[in-house]
Amino acid sequence: MPIQSLKGALQALLLVAIFFAGVWSQSSGVIDDFLFYLPDVQYLAVQHLWLTAISGGLAILVAIPLGIVLSRPSMTRWAESLMQVLNVGTTIPTLAVLALSMSFLGIGTVPAVFGLFVATLLPITRNTYTGLKGVDPALMEAAAGIGMSSTQRLLRVELPNALYVIFAGMRTALTINVGTVPLAFLIGAGGLGELIFTGIDLYDPVMMLAGAIPTALLAIVVDALIATVAFLLVPRGVNPSRA
């Protein structure tokens, strides 16, 4: 019981703290300052989400088939070395990737989408590959012994069983993607980075936070969204969150 009452006390304390923070921000005018940036935030958040959606969507479209191809038995000889190449690819900082793609593709949305696409590709490919490789060999033998063709095995056994891991990859990749989009501002693609970097340059913390807080919230929302989709799509028998 002491732990229960301690928890209750902490919750009450938190509510009081939030209340006073609200009182303080109202009286000091910070809220008004924030509201000043609201139209900017709305416009830039949409731009931000577009960048994520296009680069992330392309990455998913490329990464999952790539992971599937690499996991085929006929690719065993090449798969690990190709995964290593992709691994080395991710060790390059995203900022450097953006800089590189700018030097080839110029300034604007296209190089930003390309840079983000490259950064998002690997986690999804890796998880697709690992998930498919991780399917119990006994299942594969049973599926083959029953008379499933290789396509039927992939669609009915391998993918459903690897889906949870694949979704985990997408979650990580897209959350990182949302958090990386602000850098796209640096090569002229807009997004909430505009408020963050301008805020830093002008030494205007409120402006910076007006960019940073929505970015964090977007990341959380995207994460929750994919988690929900995974919850609904992954078959119940292989879904740890529905066990």
Partner 1 sequence: MIELDNLTKVFDTPKGAVVAADHISMSVPSGEICILLGPSGCGKTTTLKMINRIVKPTSGKVFINGEDTTGMNTQDLRRNIGYVIQQIGLFPNMTIEQNITVVPQLLGWDKARYRERARELMAMISMEPDAFLKRFPSELSGGQQQRIGVARALAADPPVMLMDEPFGAIDPINRAVIQDEFLKMQQELKKTIMFVSHDIDEAIKMGDQVAIFREGKLVQHSSPDDLLAAPKNAFVESFLGEDRTLKRLNLVKVHEVVSDEIATVSPGDTLETALGRIDDYGYQNAILMVNDQRQPVGLITRAKARTTKGYCRDHFENVPATVTLEDDLRKVASLMFAQDATWLPCVDDEGRVYGQITQRAMTHHLGSRFRAHEAASRNPDSAVKE
Residues that bind partner 1 (CB under 8 A): 136, 138-139, 141-149, 152, 156-157, 160-161, 163, 235-238, 243
**Nearer Cβ to partner 1, position 53 or 148?**
148
Residue 175 CB contacts under 8 Å (≥ 6 apart), including other chains: 219, 222, 223
Structure tokens at 80: 């690990």
**Nearer Cβ to partner 1, position 162 or 210?**
162
**Least distance to partner 1, CB of residue 55, Å:** 30
**Least distance to partner 1, CB of residue 162, Å:** 10
- Distances in Å between the Cα of 156 and the Cα atoms of 62, 153, 167, 211 are 21, 5, 17, 44
Residues in the chain: 243
**Least distance to partner 1, CB of residue 157, Å:** 6
**Nearer Cβ to partner 1, position 77 or 236?**
236
Backbone torsions φ then ψ of 44, nearest 5 degrees? -70, -35
**Least distance to partner 1, CB of residue 161, Å:** 5
Residue type present at position 154: L
Helix (H, G, I), strand (E, B) or coil at 189: coil
Distance in angstroms (rounded) separating the CA atoms of residues 41 and 243: 40
**Nearer Cβ to partner 1, position 94 or 161?**
161
Structure tokens at 37: 């940036």
**Least distance to partner 1, CB of residue 142, Å:** 3
Structure tokens at 29: 């005018």
Distance in angstroms (rounded) separating the CA atoms of residues 208 and 112: 21
